[in-house]
Amino acid sequence: MPFVTVKIARGHSIEKKRRLVESITNVLVAVLGTKPEWITIHIDEFERENWAINGILHSDRHRGKHDETGR
């Protein structure tokens, strides 16, 4: 019974999340041979202002580039 947590920045569309969980499920079925109904996927979204690389907040480095909501 795989349980997968995916951490992504907030702002991705529901359609992208649907494609993401479907793809992850398909890979786990193919690789592990498990049944799709046994797979649990948790999407943990975080704000870009709470993520930094090289001492610079992602929200400052990539202002508006990745956010589909315009935030």
Tens digits of per-residue pLDDT, 14-63? 999 999 999 999 999 999 999 999 999 999 999 988 989 999 998 888 77
Structure tokens at 68: 């589909």
Distance CA 47, CA 8 (A): 9
Tens digits of per-residue pLDDT, 19-28? 999 999 999 9
Looking up tokens 């090289």, which residue turns up?
54
Q: Which amino acid is at 16?
A: K
Residues with catalytic roles: 2
Tell me the domains of the chain and their CATH numbers.
3-61 (3.30.429.10)
Torsion angles phi and psi, residue 53, rounded to 5: -130, 130
Q: Which of 30, 60, 32, 34 is nearest to 47 (CA)?
A: 60
